[in-house]
Copies of this chain bind each other. A is one copy, B any other.
Amino acid sequence: MADLTNIRALTFDVFGTVVDWRTSIAREAEAMLAPKGVSLDWGAFADHWRQQYQPAMAEVREGRREYVVMDVLHREMLDGTLEAFGVAGLDEPEMHRLAMAWRRLDPWPDAVEGMQRLKARFAAVALSNGNVALVLAMAKRAGIPWDAILGSELVRTYKPDAGIYDSAPRFLDLAPSQVMMVACHPWDLDAAKGRGLRTAYVHRPLEWGAGTERPLPEAGVYDVSVGNFVELADVMGA
């Protein structure tokens, strides 16, 4: 395994890596829409909403629109999702409350315990496409113990834009090699690695629900590969 003794900070992806967005969004959507007589596949509803995430960010990353925060993208993407499922009739406060469901996501069962251990030895920092207010509200509700939150509005772009990965060592006053990106998405880790950060892959086979598991990365592609945050704490000696 790579020499990890120099690492001082762990920068975490949030959606999918720390929190189980699919189950949480399905729950929140059902809680709001079922009492209105709506019946649908709530997991599929969550998936559809999330599938618009990369194209929406690409508009910003590729310069076709000015940066807007993730809360705004969530609200915009909700329109198409409701339309796809034939749901109508929500008023604007309801639309807002549902869009803000992305602030009410539950952590994976291992996440808080693992982070509490990792915090004792490393700075535990959110490096998220979410904005500060979104990641903070989620953390306060769910007990996610961030040491600092680096939201994407601090650099006004979205991962995997190199600017985000370069900003983390700069904000933390560390060398890129002293920062380890923790994520369940190879695209995120590959970009971090390309900017000189260390990388920890966390396997989250249920991110998109049962039966959607993707293969593990080949050994050696990332500095660390683990099944959850408690294993990460073990591997990192925390």
Contact = CB atoms under 8 A, between A and B. Distances in A.
Contacts of A173: 71, 131, 133-134, 137
A111 interface: no
A190 interface: no
Between A134, A137, A173, the greatest number of chain B beta carbons within 10 A of the residue's beta carbon is seen for A173
Interface residues of A, number: 22
Interface in A130-183: 131-134, 136-137, 139-140, 146-149, 151, 153-154, 171-174
Between A147, A154, A174, the greatest number of chain B beta carbons within 10 A of the residue's beta carbon is seen for A147
Nearest to A171: B132
A170 to B, nearest CB: 9
A32 interface: no
Interface in A70-94: 71
Contacts of A154: 154
Given A133-B173, A136-B172, A146-B148, 11 more contacts: A123-B140, A132-B148, A133-B171, A134-B173, A139-B147, A140-B147, A147-B149, A148-B148, A148-B149, A149-B149, A151-B171
